[in-house]
A and B are shown apart, each in its own frame.
Chain A
Amino acid sequence: MTQDVFYNKVREIFFENKVVIMFAVICLFAFYHSGMTTTMFFNELFTRFGRNTFMVLSLLIPVVAGLGLNFGIVLGAMAAQIAMFLIVLWGGSGLLGIFWVALLATPIAIVFGYLVGRMFNSMKGSEMIGGMVTALFADGFYQFLFLFVFGGVIPIAATRLMIPTGVGVLNAINIGDSPNYMRQVIDNVSMLEILNVSFIAAIAFTAGMLIYKLAKKQPITLRGEGGFSKILLFLVPLTLAYIASFVIMPFLFFLYQDRLNGLVGVRLGAVTLALYNIYQIVQSKFVLKQETTPVRYYIYLGVAALLYAITLNTIIYSGLEHVGVPVFTYLLIAGLCFFIKWFMNTRLGQNMRTAGQNRAVATAAGINVDRTRVIAMIMSTLLASYGQIIMLQNFGVMSTYGSHTQVGLYAIAALLVGGATVSRASVKHAIMGVLLFHSLFILAPFASANLMGSALIGEYFRFFAANGVIAIALVMHAWQRTTKRKAVTA
């Protein structure tokens, strides 16, 4: 690699990540002036990450399918809140209560997603403004439902949820007290419960596979298509851990926790990332015997090493030491990340990608573009409703008329801060974006209080940052589109 090529490469990387770098610099500046301790900051950041990331991830599929930034996720949040209210009304409580909320939110969100998807098909090219307007339009009906239909049309006996006149639902619904104790029930699932359930599920799955193969008189093999080696890869460690939980007492006590120590969590994440990439490198070098190993594995390996090294720093160390990471919520987020990666490689996911890149080509290839777009919208709305449930249980209180209104703005701004654009977004952008955007959210009021003497300026600044980053992304997208069009016609 000559000096010039190397220089160009560095410049390219810098240019690709300009948004991320800019926000990282702003965050560092704000942190320096905020006077916050790392403990306070990390605690807040890890909480916000668990609360918001699921919602941000729900934006990815429509971007790939060519629908742009889905301002319609607000409807998913509304579906979650309608379901939440009804389950609270019917006395749901605990983790089971949340499960019922999710189950009830599912059909509502699917219907909403379907309707919005159909509408977006009639306004191709204006989906984003359409989404913004739809969110407000739906809010009108949402208010009608909660202020008039509940109590006015459908009589509701539970006076604790209603405005004193009996018509209309209260401003805030408490889900942190009996009879509806749902506050942080997802966050509070202990590692032991997770282990037990996944062990039983794995056993049941293996047994099911065995019975299926025996019934079909198929050979039971270890390797190859339908072999058991992949299942054993999960089953053996799970079984070992399950046995260990009975035998090794300190391990059992560790598993009793529902929060993972931040330090352990970050180090574990770094080690997992490193192991995964070492596995990939070994796979590519010695098993598949590829000529060139992709550079990104080495980069990720470096990132993992850097992450681990950072935790050795005293300031970071002391900050992370007192942070509790809600294990189950983070597992759900990780699960969704893997689901999205997997889904994008399925046939439907590939069709979405094609439809997103060029509708004419997709139609010529026999893809039903309109149907694909509707499916993308349904999935996004559904995931957004689950995201809203995670957010609500974390807060422990639902602001009936306010919890959903800003969801679209903040989720989209976070995704864009992570370096996504209107037509390109990935899991990496979502995670990076949530970390940076919410760092700014935490720090801006403190920094402005110290610098300007008023925390209000910081609040205005983060309002500006959220709207400004969306405005810039929209301008950049449209600008590129017009220059491309000019280039084609010229």
Chain B
Amino acid sequence: MSSLSEAKAEQPSILHTVQKAAADFGLPRVIILTTFIMLFVLAGIFNMNLPSFFGDVLRRWGMWGILVLAMVPSIQSGIGPNFGITVGILGGMLGAVLSIEMRSAGVFDFITNATMFGISTAMAAIVLGVFFASIMGALYGMLLNRVKGSEMAVSVYVGFSALAIFNIVWALIPVRTSTLILPATGSGLRQMINLTDDFGGAFDGLFRFQIGDMTVRLGLLSVFFVCCLLMWLFMRSRLGMMMSAAGSNPAYARASGINVDRMRILGTTISTALGAVGIIIYAQSFGFLQMYNAPQFYGFTVVASVLIGGATVKRARIFDVLLGAFLFNGILTIALPLANVMMPDVPGVPEMLRLIITNGIILYALSKAKGGR
């Protein structure tokens, strides 16, 4: 019997190889890829404007991309998928609010070119946002060092708590700009802040061109790609290598003289700072900054995105970010108009799909990560 099984192991059949490749690729990813292709085919059958859709997919890809990219340093440094990206998002929101206040105070008045004006206000928001997010991220990283093994559950509720604290901040923060203030009460911030006078479309409008019905916002995508490239370079730097080593094998890393806890704090801080950048890029494309509880579940969305791309809770590559963000947003972008045509009576189909895909993929990753231990 044993010799027979040995012989089998020596000569892997083609079928076996295919099966192994499929298992590596993962069942959910197969499902999602087929769903994506199927939706596109369906959209074609229903005679919908595919190029225009594809333009929207590209746009949402750029909108969410940097937030998804923020998962790479956190997963690689060993804290796992960062559900608490909300902390970084809040930092970014604070930066944006301050940038808007600066604009209305006339700080940017010396810039006369409209495009440059938008980009300057956006950059101010990003710099301020990254500043606040880095401080909060470092503190958050120190906290996560004390809860090794339960980072995910902790990070969800740390994110929610931070959101709740900032709700109070948003309601009490003294601001003077009319686009910020809630008109009904005359104090506190609005639910949705219009960014037309500020950095709304700052990068979207840059290098924007049409191919038929497809709009390509090259400015937006360039920002995303530049961030990916920087992250790729960082991951190949000495520091990035050390961080990945600390994440993948802490005991070995410690033995080779790497300060694992410090690397984890570094990963969390970078991830959180990227969250701040991400939300500003998102808001400038959306045209509005959504305050209060709006970003409560963004953490789940971005974690699911990177997992769809092929990451696990232990390892994430830039490629996973690119693929995951594209597939996830692709499905959701096409689902809405398609549902309107196919099931006009049913409201909220994209919301259902979003809930099922997001949380289904996270559950799958969780059950794979710690199976039966």
Inter-chain residue pair count (beta carbon < 8 A):
148
Q: Pick from B157, B300, B353, B373 the residue with the most CB of A within 10 Å.
A: B157
- Is the CB of B238 closer than 8 A to any CB of chain A? no
Q: Is the CB of A478 within 8 A of B348?
A: no
Binary CB contact string for chain A from 451 to 488 against chain B (1 if under 8 A, 0 otherwise): 01010110011011001101100110111011000000
Bound complex: CA A322 to CA B158 (Å): 41
Q: Is the CB of A143 within 8 A of B369?
A: no
Instruction: Report B348 CB to chain A, min CB distance, Å.
Output: 6
**Which stretch, A1-9, A119-127, A372-380, touches the partner chain B?**
A119-127
Knowing A124-B373, A475-B146, say if A143 contacts B348 (CB, 8 Å).
yes
Q: Which of A111-130 contact B (CB under 8 A)?
A: 119, 121-126, 128-130
Q: Is the CB of A119 within 8 A of B345?
A: no
Bound complex: CA A140 to CA B165 (Å): 28
Q: Is the CB of A126 within 8 A of B345?
A: no
Chain A residues lying within 8 Å of B157, measured Cβ to Cβ, are: 467, 470-471, 474
Knowing A123-B366, A140-B353, A152-B345, say if A479 contacts B147 (CB, 8 Å).
yes
Question: Which one of A136, A167, A463, A464 lies within 8 Å of B358 (CB-CB)?
Answer: A136
Binary CB contact string for chain B from 90 to 122 against chain A (1 if under 8 A, 0 otherwise): 000000000000000000000000000000000
- Is the CB of B168 closer than 8 A to any CB of chain A? yes
Chain B residues lying within 8 Å of A478, measured Cβ to Cβ, are: 146-150, 153-154
Q: Is the CB of A454 within 8 A of B346?
A: no
Chain A residues lying within 8 Å of B360, measured Cβ to Cβ, are: 137
Q: Is the CB of B371 within 8 A of A129?
A: no
- Is the CB of B139 closer than 8 A to any CB of chain A? no
- Is the CB of B143 closer than 8 A to any CB of chain A? yes
Q: Pick from B163, B168, B171 the residue with the most CB of A within 10 Å.
A: B168
Q: Is the CB of A482 within 8 A of B367?
A: no
Knowing A121-B372, A464-B164, say if A475 contacts B353 (CB, 8 Å).
no
- Is the CB of A415 closer than 8 A to any CB of chain B? no
Kindly list 19 other residue pairs between chains A and B, CB separation below 8 angstroms, not including A133-B359, A463-B167: A122-B371, A123-B366, A125-B149, A126-B369, A139-B355, A140-B352, A140-B356, A141-B356, A163-B347, A454-B171, A457-B168, A457-B171, A464-B161, A467-B160, A470-B157, A471-B161, A474-B147, A475-B146, A481-B150
Q: Which residues of A contact B (CB under 8 A)?
A: 119, 121-126, 128-130, 132-134, 136-137, 139-141, 143-144, 147-148, 152, 163, 165-168, 452, 454, 456-457, 460-461, 463-464, 467-468, 470-471, 474-475, 477-479, 481-482
Q: What are 23 sample pairs from A and B whose C-beta atoms fall under 8 A apart?
A: A119-B367, A123-B370, A126-B153, A130-B363, A130-B367, A133-B366, A136-B297, A136-B300, A137-B360, A140-B359, A163-B347, A167-B343, A454-B171, A463-B164, A463-B167, A467-B160, A471-B154, A471-B160, A471-B161, A474-B147, A475-B146, A475-B154, A478-B153
